[in-house]
Each structure stands twice: as structure tokens, then as C-alpha cells.
Amino acid sequence: MKVPTDGLQRRLTGYLRRRKVTDLPGVTAVARIDRRTKRLTKRLQAGEIAIIDHVDVDRVSAEALVACGAAGVVNVAAGISGRYPNQGPQIIVGAGVTFVDNATPELFERVKDGDLVRLHEGVVYLDDEIAGKGEVQTAESIEAAMAEARAGLTVQIEAFAANTMEYVRRERDLLIDGIGVPDIRTDMEGRHVLIVVRGYHYKEDIAALRPYIREYRPVMIGVDGGADALLEAGYVPDVIVGDFDSVSTKALSCGAELVVHAYRDGRAPGLERVERLGREAVVFPAVGTSEDIAMLLADDKGAELLVAVGTHWTLEEFLDKGRSGMASTFLTRLRVGSKLIDAKGVSRLYRSRISTPSLLLLVATALITMGVAIFVSPVGKIWIDSLRDVWSSFTFWLVGLFS
């Protein structure tokens, strides 16, 4: 087949350009660019360079970037703005990934998703031209920024308290009386409910909870991507709660009951996606986060115990989300009270005190004891003689087949 001259020329030019770029210093790779880090990590492949716009990179986003195998991360915003000591940049640099901060915003105009770029000493090159530049962060520079952020933590705590009072004013009926919680088909009355958020150490927590899940068979609620976390672990969620911006189509189609988190005015962007899939959903309007309404839903439906995986517990984790909505998370935990426990607490309760080698030794000792008892007893001798007769008959029959 004849290849057009212009097409062949473009291929040769692209090949020579890639070969020339890869011979230069720095990291040369395909760029993946998106202003939403959560959305970018869905398509980021190992060895690629992530270009993001993320103020105060949180821990979950950083762990996702590292897990994807990013060769470099370029942030056009401040990775540590100084509002609070967020851990994201520390995790990225600690994993050996090149992290460039406060890069020029023009990167989002000059670089397209899938372009081959080179990252060297904080400068992003595209076709041998400078597309943007930023500040290369090191462990020392991040630690200095974290120290400054800790000094200003008091201001954030005051803002957090103010947001908490505002949330109480707007959602007092829901928090106090449960007004506005929708009806669902899934029965939770008197049962344990496992709420999974794809957050801090969710994989380890689910693995540690396997004995608990086998024994109690809890109702499983996946919060957005938490539904995919359950499927990956081999479980099927009973209910999926969220705005459905970070949950797969596979999870939405697994047969779970769907609860769409809507704005207080009734707008539910995730409902359109559900309807396109031909699924039905219940709408739950609330100001808080999706993990909050999952807890309020389970509590209102009579759950005996709520076990949370990957959710937020400490003040640092609340602030790490970087938004005022985390005030609702704090108050939701006060609302559900003693029903709620962290998955790590359950795993500690179910941690066996007997090691596996000790258990195997106990079983072997029991078998040996039983064997000796059978061998020395009169009944045991009769059994042994019977087994010898059976073995002799079998060998005689087997020899007869070949004679």
C-alpha cells in the first residue's frame, strides 16, 4: 500500500523529534493535564507527567498520583499555601517523584493532554520551547513550608468552628430530627453497616475487616469511588451514595440501590448519569459531604453499628480536605454518636492472639496424639489389620490388570 508523502513526513518528523527530546536531560514523557486531580488519576499511566491545578495538595490525591506511577507532577497552584500543614507534597517527594510547584498557569493553554514534554529543573519544554516553569520542591523546602503552615493553624481552626456553626444553622432539622432523609428499599434495621470511602488506607482496612465481614454480613454502602473499592475487594455494595462523579459505570450497574447526593435546592447533577444507564435512584438533598449523608442515612434507618473505612477522623484530616464542608463531617459524627467506629478499631478487636505457626503446631500435635491412641488400642489394631487387608486386595487387583 502506498503511504502518502505528507503522512510519511509527519511520522518521520515525530520520530526524530521524540528521539531528539529523549536524548536531552530531565524527564521526558507524555503529559496528562487536568484541573481536577481526581479526574486526572483515572487516566494517568506509569511514567507519565501529571500537570494539575491543585491548591494544598491533599494526602489522598498525592497517594493516588504516586500509585499511578507518575514520573513527575507539575502544579500551577501552590501545593502548600500556608493555610494548614497538608501532607500531599511531602508524600509525592518522599516517593521519589519530581514535584514542581507554583508553575506558570499558561501551561494549561500551551500543553495539550497527550503531548510529549520534557521536565528539567522546574522547566517544562514542548518541542524544544519553554511551555512553563515553576519551583522544584525538595524535602527541605517542603518541611520549611509545613513549619510556616503549622504556625498559622489557629486561623484555620477558627474558620472551621465558624463553618461548623453555619452548618448547624442550615441543617439543624436534618441533624436533630432526621427530616429530609429519603426512604430506601435496603433494610438496615438492627444490622451492622459498613461505609466505605476511597480515602485514607481503605485497601488495608478492607483487608483487615474480612473476618468481621464473614461473621456479621454487614450492609455495605459505597460512597462514590468506595463502591469500586468494594468490587475490587470481591464484595458487591448494597447501596451506593454520592454525586457519582468518581464511581465507575460497572459499579453503578452492579445492582446496588443508588442514592444521589443533591444540592439543597434539589439540583442533582449525578441523576442524569444514572438515568442514562437506565437505573433508578433516590435523591438526598443535603449540604454536607457524601460520606456524611451515608452515615445519616444508615443511622436514620436503624443501623445498630456503623463501621467506617477511609473516612475522616482527625482535625488534620478534616482540614486536609481543604473545604468548609468538612464541618458537616465533624457534626455528623456527633449526631451518630457511639454507633460509629473506625475500621482500624474493628480490625484490632478481631486480631488473633494466636499466630498461624502455633495453630498449625497445635493441629499437628492433636493428629499425632490421635494416631498413637488408635495404634495402641485393641480397636485400633483391628482397624489397622482391616486396612492392611484392603491394601493387599487393592495391590492384588492392580497387579492382575497388567498380568
The predicted pLDDT at position 374 comes to 67
Is the per-residue pLDDT at 84 higher than 70? yes
Mean pLDDT score of the chain: 82
In this predicted structure, the answer to whether residue 286 has a pLDDT above a threshold of 80 is yes
User: Could you tell me the residue ranges of all domains in the chain?
Assistant: 5-149, 153-349, 357-402
Say yes or no to pLDDT of 370 above 60. Answer: yes
Please give the pLDDT value at position 8.
46
Who has greater pLDDT, 389 or 54? Answer: 54
12: pLDDT strictly greater than 50: no
Q: How confident is the model at residue 58 (pLDDT cuts 50, 70, 90)?
A: confident
What's the rounded mean pLDDT across residues 171-180? Answer: 62
pLDDT at site 348 = 55
Q: Could you tell me which residues are beta bridge partners of residue 72? A: 49, 98
Provide the pLDDT for residue 164.
67
- Report the interhelical angle of 153-172 vs 139-151 (nearest 10°): 60
Residue 372: helix, strand or coil by DSSP?
helix
CA distance 350 to 258: 31
**Beta strands at 239-242 and 219-223: parallel, antiparallel or unpaired:** parallel
Which one, of 125, 71, 127, lies nearest residue 99 by Cα? Answer: 71
Half-sphere exposure of 163 (CA within 13 A, CB side): 20
pLDDT tens digits, 61-81: 898 899 999 999 999 999 998
Q: Which residues contact 84 (CB under 8 A, 6 or more apart)?
A: 56, 149, 152, 153, 156, 316, 319, 320
CATH for the stretch 5-149: 3.50.30.10
Q: What is the pLDDT of residues 340-349, one digit of tens each?
A: 888 765 655 5
Share of the chain above pLDDT 90, in %: 44
- Please report the pLDDT score of residue 354 as a whole number: 54
Helix locations, 209-311, DSSP H? 210-216, 226-232, 249-252, 269-276, 290-300
Q: Identify which of 13-27, 45-59, 318-332 has the greatest average pLDDT.
A: 45-59
